[in-house]
Amino acid sequence: MDSDILERMANLKVGDVLEDRYRIETPIARGGMSTVYRCLDLRLGRSMALKVMDEDFVDDPVFRQRFRREARSMAQLNHPNLVNVYDFSASGGQVFLVMELITGGTLRELLAERGPMPPHAAVGVMRGVLTGLAAAHRAGMVHRDIKPDNVLITSDHQVKLSDFGLVRAAHAGQSQDNQIVGTVAYLSPEQVEGGEIGPASDVYSAGIVLFELLTGTTPFSGEDDIEHAYARLNEVIPAPSSLIDGVPSLVDELVATATSLNPEDRFDDSSEFLTALEDVASELHLPGFKVPVPINSAANRANAQVPETQPTDMFTTHIPKAPEIDATAIIPAAEPANETSILPAYAEPPSQEQPFSPVPPPIQGPIPQPETALHIADQEVPPPDEPDIKPVSNRSKLKLTLWSILVVIIITAVAVGGWWFGSGRYGEIPQVLGMDEVQAVAVVEEAGFVAVASSQYDDEVPTGSIIGTKPSFGERLPRGEDVSVLVSQGRPVVPDLGEDRSLSTVREELEARTFVWVDGPGEYDDDVPEGQVVSLTPSSGRELNVGDTVQIHLSRGPAPVEIPDVSGMGVDQATRVLERAGLSVERTEEAFDADTANGDVIGTSPTSSTEVTRGTSVVLQVSNAITVPDVVGMTQDEAVAALAEDGLVVASTSVIPGEAARTADTVVSVDPESGHYVDPAHPQVVLGTAGEIEVPSIVGRRISDARTILEEAGLTLVTDGADDDRIISQTPRARSEMSVGGEVTVRAF
């Protein structure tokens, strides 16, 4: 591609220097009207982008004039989502813009690498496009050529819009019939028909770009550009969801509104389009998106081709190559779960038997003899010894009674202990529904528990009524344990924001009311510091259901203020206008402007339409121009004195042939003309005096008086009469014109 560009732009070569300042380093890309080069600013030692217009436009004076106007307007735009224009030239052999160098790539290149985008990604890209376009629309500019090729992505993932007004400038030089200027796929219907072009035209083109981001294609086609362009005059753009799955209906509606055939049915401008886009993103809970940098972009390739060693390396800031985007990681499939293992059974603990005191064995009586005897071999088993049986006495009866009583006591104690340690020490939690807090606490405590009142939000139970207990009614619990008596607080209410608006405090308050908090979009506020909570959605005081979601909106600080246009105003009036806008005047600086009277404001720094923080100080640029006074008709000495009073100097005086006056030193012209403005740094003017003298009437005068009159006028008297003689005729006659120093002949008597 680079060789093709060099062939088509053979008059510019790598190493060429434009205007002794911008050295061509390498071509980046070729467009329909221009070629973009990477260049080095030899004065500042930094790399820039140089957009050189095609030779077809160079010899067109109308194009040059419009190019200057459009380039000046572009240079005044300053916004993070717009490519900065630093310089331009339309006076030499080349017409070019000097712009911010973007080392990432274009949206076209990103689409080529990645194809259609999911809705959240498309919305993320369009957010940057519409934000930049909105700044231009506020400044009264219309782009006319919104397309992916004019959307640039920086190496730090920022979206920037470029090429404002170039199509309009190029259109000035087009005279061919049926010539449609612009990129056909993105033209609005009014551009095709030659109608009035406004912000709504850019909205249409931006809608086509959104369609392409979602579907990977543009909506119309044709056998040639004319047919392609005219297709949009009758056809409605299809819904993106009809071409690709996963596009919500709200996004379809965005595209449909932006690309309506009638401009009045579209969003008025890109600001309204952006607001609708943000509303859809919020409604659909679309996640944020960091726009990727194209990997194989022309800007990257051009950056790689720049020689490592340059004569100005000591001044040149190195722009690193855009980092490559990590490839999608391949997530290995989950390994199969281990087969079911048979776990060894746990031995159950032995049953907890209640211990008993040993009971004395009963008194042994005589052992009965078996009816048969067992004989083994010849062994004879001797009869057992019979025990000695003592006779029963009264003392034995008493001992037996005592033992019996003791056994009964032990059995009773064991039974009571078993009951207590078994089920006797447990109680059943009573029912308390319908009671008030005092009654419920009393009932729970009568059941042997410690009642602890606890508040809890509930969507159905009125405030102050009992919801129940925890543990619940009917459950068994050892007596003496705590039982929570749940008292209803009713439905939760979104809390008021107090003095402590820190995010952590507000989150805790929401969680205490059962709410689920989520981060909402930030809001500007003049009073709440940035990062503090400025509002909640739903708003404070609203009654919600338990577990509802509440959005937290953090303050973005004071809303940005757009600097008003105060050019042409006096300093006092401009100061009042700026103060009403929330700004202040830091100081005034004098500067010259050929169109602004002395003492009037030329502009501000930062420039008008720039968004700044409320309270920002601006510098007023005040004109120090000198107004050329009207000195025509004065003598040369009078004119010099009058000009000097205003600070002007007569650089030279010249005789103007054909201009007549009553005297030779009468001023007949001044350059610059009276009423024009002169730079006090260059206060020179040029005077023109009469080249012809209007012959005065001297008939009837004495010759001596006539001679004086003619000499003052720059003429000579020719006569043979005496000084006291009176003139009866003169040649040339009065009011005729003659050259300075000419002779007037008279007759006298």
H helix or E strand, kind and range, residue 80 = none
Out of 145, 202, 269, 593, the active site residue is 145
Query: Side chain identity at 692, as an amino acid letter?
Result: E
Please, is 337 exposed, middle or buried when counting C-beta atoms within 10 Å of its C-beta (0-12, 13-18, 19+)? exposed
Helix 119-138 / helix 249-258 crossing angle, nearest 10 deg: 30
| The 3-state secondary structure of 184-215, one letter per residue | HHHCCHHHHHCCCCCHHHHHHHHHHHHHHHHH
CA angle 645, 651, 655 (to 5 degrees): 110
H helix or E strand, kind and range, residue 107 = helix 107-114
Q: Residues near 201 by Cβ (< 8 Å), separated by ≥ 6?
A: 142, 144, 188, 190, 191, 263
Helix 270-283 / helix 249-258 crossing angle, nearest 10 deg: 170
Residue 145 appears among annotated catalytic residues: yes
CB-based burial, 547-558: b 16+ in 10 Å, e otherwise: ebebebbbbbbb
Q: Are 555 and 525 in contact (CB under 8 A)?
A: yes
Cα distances (Å, whole numbers) of residue 646 to 127, 621, 639, 642, 657: 54, 21, 11, 7, 28
Please, is 620 exposed, middle or buried when counting C-beta atoms within 10 Å of its C-beta (0-12, 13-18, 19+)? buried
DSSP 505-525: HHHHHHHHTTPEEEE---B--
For residue 538, what is the DSSP state?
S
Q: How far apart are CA 52 and CA 59, in angstroms?
A: 14
**Spatial CA neighbour of 153 closest among 94, 203, 112:** 112
Q: How far apart are CA 164 and CA 299, in angstroms?
A: 20
Provide the 3-class DSSP secondary structure of residue 498: coil
Q: Are 216 and 116 in contact (CB under 8 A)?
A: yes
How distant is the alpha carbon of residue 328 from its chain centre? 28
Handedness of CA 100, 102, 107, 108 (dihedral sign): positive
Q: Residues near 569 by Cβ (< 8 Å), separated by ≥ 6?
A: 577, 600, 601
Helix 107-114 / helix 199-215 crossing angle, nearest 10 deg: 20
Q: Residues near 359 by Cβ (< 8 Å), separated by ≥ 6?
A: 407, 410
Q: How far apart are CA 608 and CA 169, in angstroms?
A: 23
CB-based burial, 179-214: b 16+ in 10 Å, e otherwise: ebbbbbbbbbbbbbeeeebebbbbbbbbbbbbbbbb
Parallel/antiparallel/unpaired status of strands 482-488 and 450-456: parallel
Q: Residues near 735 by Cβ (< 8 Å), separated by ≥ 6?
A: 694, 695, 697
Catalytic residues: 145
